[in-house]
Amino acid sequence: MRSQALPQELIRAKRDGQALDVEAIRALVADIADGSLGDAQVGAFAMAVFLNGMNAAETVALTEAIRDSGEVLDWSGLDLPGPVLDKHSTGGVGDLVSLVLGPWIAACGGFVPMVSGRGLGHTGGTLDKLEAIPGYDIAPSRARFRELVRETGVAIVGQTGELAPADRRLYGVRDVTATVESLPLIVSSILGKKLACGLDALVMDVKVGSGAFMPTPEKSRELAETIAEVASKAGTPTTALLTDMSQPLAPCAGNAIEVREAIALLTGERRDGRLFEVTRELAAELLLAGRLADSANAARHRLDRALASGAAAERFARMVAGLGGPTDLLEQPDRYLAEAPVRRAVFAERPGRIQRLDTRALGLAVVELGGGRRQPEEAIDPSVGLSAIAAIGDPVDAERPLAVIHAAGEDAAERAARQLLAAITVGDESPAPPKLIHDVIRREAP
State the catalytic residues. 86-89, 126, 174, 189, 193-194
In terms of Cα–Cα distance, which of 229, 192, 232 is closest to 64?
192
Written as one letter, the residue type at 245 is M
Give the integer Cα–Cα distance in Å for 155 and 269: 24
Q: Which residues contact 229 (CB under 8 A, 6 or more apart)?
A: 56, 443
131-to-39, 197, 311, 438 alpha-carbon distances in Å: 32, 22, 23, 32
CB contact at 8 A, 410 and 427: no
